[in-house]
Amino acid sequence: MKRTITEILDSIDKLKGKKIKLAELKKEVEVNPELMYILEINFDYQERGFKGLPKGIPDGYKPNHTAMPGYADATIAGIYKKLYVYSEPNISDSRKLQLFIQDIEDLDPEEANILILAKDHTLSYKYPWIKEDAFKLIFN
């Protein structure tokens, strides 16, 4: 079974040393395009991708606590290819919010949290080693 983004990042987080963590992140990005996309969202400070969505956890979001971890209705790996919809200028902000809530409610709460943190450019709150040097390593 394919690991979730949360499982990947949590396993990297347990490693000792920032250089080792970043090297492992680079390896994981090469085989997990969904992880690369989450990092792209996190480092998109021009907010092309999630413009119009409120910061933080959206009002009306109800976490999916019914599924066992790893068995939610969806994973980031399964939905990442459709996340481009949040950059569509012809979709209203209210519709984007409605779609975003639907997407994160289908995810395991931990994966939903990862997507929310990436949207807000704050993955470093949970994973302090995901900062500008991670961006340079991955995207340069």
SS3 percent helix, strand, coil of the chain, rounded to 5, is 60, 0, 40
High-pLDDT (> 90) share of the chain, %:
64
Question: Residues 41-58: what's their mean pLDDT?
Answer: 84
Whole-angstrom CA distances from 54 to 50, 106, 130 are 9, 19, 22
pLDDT beyond 90 at 21? yes
Evaluate whether 83 touches 51 at the Cβ level (below 8 Å): no
Rg (CA), the chain: 15
Give me the pLDDT at residue 138, please.
Answer: 84
Model confidence over 79-93: pLDDT tens digits?
988 988 888 889 999
pLDDT beyond 80 at 72? no
